[in-house]
Copies of this chain bind each other. A is one copy, B any other.
Amino acid sequence: MPKHTFKVEWGDTDAAGIVFYPNYYRWMDNSTHAFFETIGYSSVVLFEEDRMGLPILEANCRFFTPSFFGNRIEVTSEIAEVKDKVFRIEHTFRRGETLLAQGYEVRAWTDFSNGKPKAQPIPDELREKFMHHLKQEIS
């Protein structure tokens, strides 16, 4: 499962001293781009050479424990669902053993080459890579 770690910066907090929540969505976006790089799809190359992008359809996050300046946060990103043109990626934020937040993004595999962005079927090669990073349901 692709993971990466980052540190809460000074400007990420608000006047209550805890992380300003929209930053979690910025971190989810970062994590999705990192996930794609891990599986061999650089979003720079995708967008600049192929004019393919991953616009957001929905994003959700539930917040369990506040985080603070200086915290080291680990994000785990997993594919939770794959449809024809759309997939759902889930991000879990932990500080050590503590679950901080859990969110997901629904994104569409999208062609930007013709003015108006248009969702496309997810190619088999990408679909196969997704399969290696599917969320493990606890049975």
Contacts and interface: CB of A to CB of B under 8 A. Distances in A.
Interface residues of A, number: 38
Contacts of A15: 10, 13-15, 17, 47, 68-69
A134 interface: no
Interface string A8-47: 0111011111101111011001100100000000111001
A30 to B, nearest CB: 5
A57 B66 contact: no
A98 B42 CA distance: 22
Given A63-B56, A63-B58, A10 B33 contact: yes
A38 B55 CA distance: 33
Given A22-B26, A43-B70, 4 more contacts: A10-B20, A16-B47, A55-B63, A55-B66
